Structure 1
């Protein structure tokens, strides 16, 4: 039995007129219309079987495919490949591949040669091809494979390509990557803002308030401990009993925000460390999920500890100021009462000489006390404004201590205290303002004497070492509580034990002493073992051992009779001018008074006094104007001019110098100072218009 003749499969061999292997598509119709005999391929009937199979596969596929055949690489493609060609279709059908893809042939050509010459298939994935398929240059991306197709003689007749354009996908991925990059940048930026926000921020998740996000400021507030991923009150157990659980639960339950101002918060920032107090302004804002349910809480706020303490300090300052004003009124009324009573007593008929002398002593002593109170107030104000000027000069430590002891001695003796002074064996010479330094030490001695029961002990001890001197004033008096040591040198500060005593004072003495010591480049400190156990104040001052006194310190003239002077006093306060005139007349001086600036200038020109004591604030011309007029006149250049005023700031002294005054004294004037001036030969009326003091 003979086998039936083999019939070729229609895909392998089909007559030209058959439609079996060519679909009824745009390319199928174009295939039938093409005069293949006019191409290098020749009529379809003579095509090699492999070419027919490759073309049939391409034309019947919905995936982009093409066949390049022969040495001319004649192009045959399917409908799916048309978008790849763009405006090059339909001219590209049956055309030469090298001409069709001229602009990208540097990329395609070497791969074509690899297939046509060596029979090696190629693979290209998402390769960039810059082409002009639609009359403009564009970047495209393709994945393709070139496979060799053999002819009937076994040689390589052409190549088969299946390809896909990846341009849209690449663009989408690029946009996605760009969006991801921007999103990551935004996340990084937001994270940076979150981490570096000036206030503390945290995100709490769920009903257990688990820390989901926490910024740096939050860690600075609560201490550096692991809290992210942990329930809030497990991470911060010390906060559990401070009312914050109830607040958070209410916000979570009701969905309403909570705003708190200056809330007190006690934290343990280090394991086993001490508890510390903080104050916060905060907002708990509920966070809702897509269903409108509360899913967490956004917490943010600011550490306002410094502001709260500053406000408390202001309130404390106001409280101490009020106490000070009450004390000031008390301290001023104390001397005013004996002054008024003594003045009334002096006017009483039949007063004996002894009683009269005693009353005058009371007035003088109490007026001096009031003047010292006012001087302390003015000095503190000048220090706080940086206007107090020191007159630095070499001064022996022993003389400063002696001056301070002399000032405090009456009070020490009145209370029967024992005083011991121990100074270095070698002379110690400081560069200091002797009056101000003595003022500091006398204040410490007076405090020790005041705040100690009668018959106490005070010890002054000075120790010198290279570069510094320490002066200790120690007593066995009422002492100072430890909590009061921190505020002892503040303005208006008085400890309760001192307030309970009659010698409470204004509470500015130690603040004044501290300012004066610091102006000398030193420091002052206080020590006490507690109430009833005494106190010690230590003044530290810089000291260079090379300092010395040259020629010694001049002795103040004592017992020298005043020279008789012609004096003009100008003051619109009649009582002030007449009482001062009376004092000077008792010393034998010729005194004339004026109540206005114009009157003072006229009398000065008429009388030509040796000394003119001028108030500054007068009607008509003020004291500065009168002094300037006197200095411009030939007859007034040798006159001694003294400004006597209630204004004692550094700027007031500068104005006095500019106006031509020789001296600048604040009221009330010390009569001993006046007498010393008048007793100095050649001083008054000597044409000296030096710097006003």
Structure 2
């Protein structure tokens, strides 16, 4: 038989290693490798089954290796050399256990199963490998399969693997990022929700959204089922329009009525929000992202600010009206006096008009100052034990002229026994006279006013009832608010700045009491009641008469120096004092006053505080430093009347402090004291 020349010659070494040809870098390395120390021996002695497997893996682009023989000699291809890292090329022909000792506890059991004939598959197995000089987490997907020799016996195992570390880490990062975003979504301060499909099914909501709608189950439900109470409020229609058109919608401070508690009432909230369409990869709208904020608190504040601005504008209009009213007759009377053609009776009438209207303006300004001081906590009460019956009598005396002028029938119902309270006499008279004055003003002429004092337990109550125009129900809750004036007459002809009742409430509160208003409506009268705690025990101070006679007092002949940069004010005060028989000089600045005081040695100096060259406090200190004026009576006459102003005046050396426009009785009392000292 002729020999087949196409078969390799067993005697040819090159032909014996033909199965390693075409194996890339690893094939070349295997051909050139020193196999003397390998448990596999030289490739020429490898069994055919091993040769076949090695030829297969060398020509594969998938990372592969085969471990053969009792010591599992290790052979691999080019792709697997990248998996080995720095273990390559030393790993070629080495023992599997020695090469991957760090992961042997993880893969050893799988290898044993393969050597027993059981193929295994591992998906994304976590392995800590040391292939670059340090431990690193890795993940692999691979199969371990048994390899049999020519006799059918299992002689080794084969592996095809893919490193998925990058994919696992990327997926892990994505998951962590998604969880972080979910956490941010859930904890975001704004309301957020994701709706899917044309029925707007809730897919996600955050805590703020659930706080807005009330904690109920909404995820998985369409909005019409989850929030049935907003039917007819326009929100469902907006969602449908955004889904159909793909155009976002922005709403600002829109009201929504929600049933936030089971079986609870509808609550109105205000929200800023955006309905933003969600699109898929083809551009089709698949859902709506809802984002916004509950701005109810902001809306309430804005409404309150707008209301406050309206009240401010109304107050300024009322202030202008109230100041113009007395100014008109004052100007007219002054012009008549200037003409000098009036007889004595007409002069007296014009003067009375000026005095009366100026007093009215003074009352307005004093009310404003009182409100300012009370609201800033600058009012100090001079408390003593008082009988409220006596206080009521004093208040009635003040309001009696108005009551008589309007021909009202006033009925007093006093307690019949002492009604002791602890308070400031002046302030309590002011409170009760204010309430009584309102009753007289807002009751038609010939009406009825009842003032009652009752003592019950540890409380004393003063109630003022009238049959006047009454108070509208929508005004009643705000009747004690600052600058609130009930329009109880169509033309508001009674006037007022809307601060009197606010002042009453504040002063009563300072006394530890309360004040209430009641009315059955317009045309049905009203009742105001003041409730104060009874005094712990009666410790009345000796009562003295207050208020001087309205006529001019004769305080003798004093030397008086008036210092005021307001020429008209200085000259009019000087004229008034001269009429009473005093010798009066006038200066309009501090330096002139110092010179005149040094020459004339006045008994009394009436000093304005706001002088152009130095303030009145410094002037007082310099006057006190002059020996000839050290004992003079210094009187501060100023438009400032706060507690700190009075304290500063006392420190500067003033004996008395009068607030402009000073009452003539107060000036006369000061002069009388100066006369007594002389």
Q: Same fold (TM over 0.5)?
A: yes
Match of 2:501 among 485, 495, 510: 510
1:552 equivalenced with 2:542 (yes/no)? yes
Which is further off, 507-516 or 329-338?
329-338
Match of 2:607 among 614, 617, 623: 614
Partner-residue secondary structure (3-state), 2:494: coil
Partner-residue secondary structure (3-state), 1:483: coil
CA distance in 2 between partners of 1:107 and 1:201 (Å):
49
1:603 equivalenced with 2:603 (yes/no)? no
CA distance in 2 between partners of 1:439 and 1:562 (Å):
30
Query: Match for residue 5 of structure 2?
Result: none
Query: Match for residue 366 of structure 1?
Result: 357
Shift in Å at residue 30 of structure 1? 11
Instruction: Show the 5 A alignment for 1:131-530.
Output: 160-162=155-157, 164=159, 168-169=163-164, 171=165, 176=168, 178-270=169-261, 273-343=264-334, 351=343, 353=345, 357-415=348-406, 416-423=408-415, 425-430=417-422, 432-453=423-444, 454-463=446-455, 465-466=457-458, 469-498=460-489, 500-530=491-521
Gapped runs of 5+ residues in structure 1? Answer: 1-15, 153-157, 686-693
Q: Is the 8 A contact 1:141 1:165 kept in 2?
A: no
Partner-residue secondary structure (3-state), 1:212: strand
Distance 1:166 1:422, change over 3 A: farther
Q: Is the 8 A contact 2:146 2:158 kept in 1?
A: no
Q: Is the 8 A contact 1:103 1:131 kept in 2?
A: no
Q: Is the 8 A contact 1:206 1:295 kept in 2?
A: yes
Q: Is the 8 A contact 2:38 2:73 kept in 1?
A: no
Q: TM-score, normalised by structure 1?
A: 0.76
Query: Match for residue 12 of structure 1?
Result: none
1:659 equivalenced with 2:652 (yes/no)? yes
Partner-residue secondary structure (3-state), 1:291: coil
Q: Is the 8 A contact 2:69 2:155 kept in 1?
A: yes
Deviations, residues 383-420 of structure 1 (Å, cap 9, x unaligned): 34444444444444344333322222222333323232
CA distance in 2 between partners of 1:333 and 1:494 (Å):
18
Shift in Å at residue 440 of structure 1? 1.6
Partner-residue secondary structure (3-state), 1:401: helix
Partner-residue secondary structure (3-state), 1:292: coil
Q: Is the 8 A contact 2:103 2:127 kept in 1?
A: no
Partner-residue secondary structure (3-state), 1:406: helix
Which is further off, 237-246 or 181-190?
237-246
Q: TM-score, normalised by structure 2?
A: 0.78
CA distance in 1 between partners of 2:522 and 2:557 (Å):
57
Shift in Å at residue 675 of structure 1? 1.9
Which is further off, 400-409 or 336-345?
336-345
CA distance in 1 between partners of 2:157 and 2:473 (Å):
94
Shift in Å at residue 604 of structure 1? 1.4
Partner-residue secondary structure (3-state), 2:610: coil
Distance 1:264 1:39, change over 3 A: closer
Shift in Å at residue 511 of structure 1? 1.7
Deviations, residues 9-46 of structure 1 (Å, cap 9, x unaligned): xxxxxxx9899xx985239999999999999999999x
CA distance in 1 between partners of 2:607 and 2:19 (Å):
124
Query: Match for residue 625 of structure 2?
Result: 632
Distance 1:437 1:167, change over 3 A: farther
CA distance in 2 between partners of 1:315 and 1:148 (Å):
88
Distance 1:102 1:286, change over 3 A: closer
Q: Is the 8 A contact 2:280 2:286 kept in 1?
A: yes
Deviations, residues 444-472 of structure 1 (Å, cap 9, x unaligned): 11112221233213223344644x65443
Shift in Å at residue 372 of structure 1? 0.5
Query: Match for residue 7 of structure 1?
Result: none
Distance 1:218 1:557, change over 3 A: closer
Match of 1:25 among 19, 22, 26: 19
Q: Is the 8 A contact 2:35 2:93 kept in 1?
A: no
Distance 1:245 1:146, change over 3 A: closer
Deviations, residues 175-221 of structure 1 (Å, cap 9, x unaligned): 52x44443333223322332333332233333333333333333333
Q: Is the 8 A contact 2:66 2:157 kept in 1?
A: yes
Query: Match for residue 565 of structure 2?
Result: 572
Shift in Å at residue 375 of structure 1? 1.0
Distance 1:56 1:631, change over 3 A: same
Shift in Å at residue 251 of structure 1? 3.1
> How well do the aligned residues superpose, as a CA RMSD in angstroms?
4.8
Q: Is the 8 A contact 1:54 1:160 kept in 2?
A: no
Partner-residue secondary structure (3-state), 1:532: coil
CA distance in 2 between partners of 1:44 and 1:181 (Å):
44
Gapped runs of 5+ residues in structure 2? Answer: 1-9, 22-26, 58-63
Partner-residue secondary structure (3-state), 2:463: strand
Q: Is the 8 A contact 2:471 2:525 kept in 1?
A: yes
1:538 equivalenced with 2:529 (yes/no)? yes
Q: Is the 8 A contact 1:565 1:610 kept in 2?
A: yes
Shift in Å at residue 586 of structure 1? 3.7
Q: Is the 8 A contact 2:117 2:146 kept in 1?
A: yes
CA distance in 1 between partners of 2:421 and 2:214 (Å):
52
Deviations, residues 261-285 of structure 1 (Å, cap 9, x unaligned): 3334444444554444443333332
Q: How many pairs does the alignment contain?
A: 641
Match of 1:645 among 611, 616, 638: 638
Shift in Å at residue 508 of structure 1? 1.4
